[in-house]
Amino acid sequence: MSETKDVVSQDRRRFLRNSAMTLAAAELAMMSSARALSINPSDAAPIKVGGNTSFDALKQIDAGLLNIGYAEAGPASGPAVILLHGWPYDIYSFVDVAPLLASAGYRVIVPYLRGYGTTSFLSSATMRNAQQSAVGLDIIALMDALKIQKAIVAGFDWGARTADVMAVLWPERCKAIVSVGGYLISSPEGNQTPWPPEPAFLFWYQYYFATPVGKAGYAKYLDQFNKFIWHQASPKWNFDDATYNRTAASFNNPDHVDIAMHDYRWRLGLADGERKYDDLEKQLAALPVVTVPAITMEGDSNGAIHAPSTAYRNKFSGKYDYRLITGGVGHNIPQEAPEAFAKAVIDVDHF
């Protein structure tokens, strides 16, 4: 799950004081645009949460360093939306969102990130690297392979971080973004500030992954581990075994453990990245402002550590909205509240 240390490090005391109150303090901002829309939220067919269990089309394509597995829905001529999952989740976080957006006329692309599902490296010699710029480049390469010049990019967790990264490094490729959790760009150097015990506790898995026994434990207890994280991150989400198992299959990817370990170790400065990404990471370490239209979202029962929306508001300089999704919604907003997530995508398209 994506940390927010760089965003709040300058005002850590205020963050710690307010973090426990954030879930109830922010106001719901689910307001429809008054503009004339070429694609209207009312065009999307109503959907039952959890009513879909599969995607109509699963495809593979060579893109950059990867052969990427992805789901596709909607008309090929529609405006493109790319939906990005996080850890430990997969494309099924969007199994209800995709048909909503497809019915509204969007071309929806939902890729497995590196280390998940049917996405594989084209070369055994490629470093199993999960640093933020590398993952961002994966999605740019996917857009190039699919001949998509510009897209709305929307995601949560690693996917939200990737949307933020793409928006600041390649704004010309992003029509707008939806980012659950806000501004999630960070750097190893910026993550060196120690946390007091309570917030550090919520990062327990990152410190566990920093050790050899943590990597071995994750590999040995993969399903139990990730199901535990689901419960921690979304304590009021009553998902069933079938829902979890559909996603758990994607963790059987041979690169999954290495990718997960590298992501969290790199963030803490405990694993090297690749020098070819140094220039991009230097840009990201400056925490540049997102200039494209953006909606950030939070669930009112998110059990993962997250900053209050006020901590990152100044990181979005374009047209912007913040939405707190109520009703016991946790970390995985697309799967727990698909209509609210799809509405955010449609709304940000018309900012």
Q: Which residue has the tokens 């829309």?
A: 37
Residue range 44-53: mean pLDDT, rounded: 65
With beta carbons less than 8 A apart as the criterion, state whether 130 and 263 touch: yes
Q: Which residues contact 269 (CB under 8 A, 6 or more apart)?
A: 188, 189, 191, 192
Amino acid at 315: K
pLDDT confidence bin for 118, thresholds 50/70/90: very high
Helix (H) or strand (E) holding 235: none
* Of the candidates 281, 266, 293, 269, the residue with the CA atom closest to the CA atom of residue 185: 281
pLDDT of residue 292: 98
pTM of structure: 0.87
pLDDT of residue 282: 97
pLDDT tens digits, residue range 174-197? 999 999 999 999 999 999 999 999
CA angle 333, 92, 121 (to 5 degrees): 115
pLDDT of residue 63: 98
Segment among 4-8, 152-156, 297-301 with least mean pLDDT: 4-8
Helix (H) or strand (E) holding 296: strand 294-299
pLDDT tens digits, residue range 234-266? 999 999 999 999 999 999 999 999 999 999 999
Burial profile 232-265: b = 16 or more Cβ within 10 angstroms, e = fewer:
bbbeebebeeebeeebbebbebebbbbbbbbbbb
Residue range 33-44: mean pLDDT, rounded: 36
Does position 20 have pLDDT exceeding 50, yes or no?
Answer: no
pLDDT confidence bin for 4, thresholds 50/70/90: very low
* Of the candidates 23, 29, 88, the residue with the CA atom closest to the CA atom of residue 305: 23
Does position 34 have pLDDT exceeding 90, yes or no?
Answer: no
254 upstream amide cis, omega within 30 of 0 = no
Please state, rounded to an integer, the average pLDDT across all residues of the chain: 89
pLDDT of residue 199: 87
pLDDT of residue 45: 45
Look at 31 and 50; give whichever has higher pLDDT: 50
pLDDT of residue 41: 37
Amino acid at 47: I
Does position 10 have pLDDT exceeding 60, yes or no?
Answer: no
Residue range 316-338: mean pLDDT, rounded: 97
pLDDT tens digits, residue range 320-329? 999 999 999 9
How far is residue 306's CA from residue 308's CA, in Å, rounded to a whole number?
7
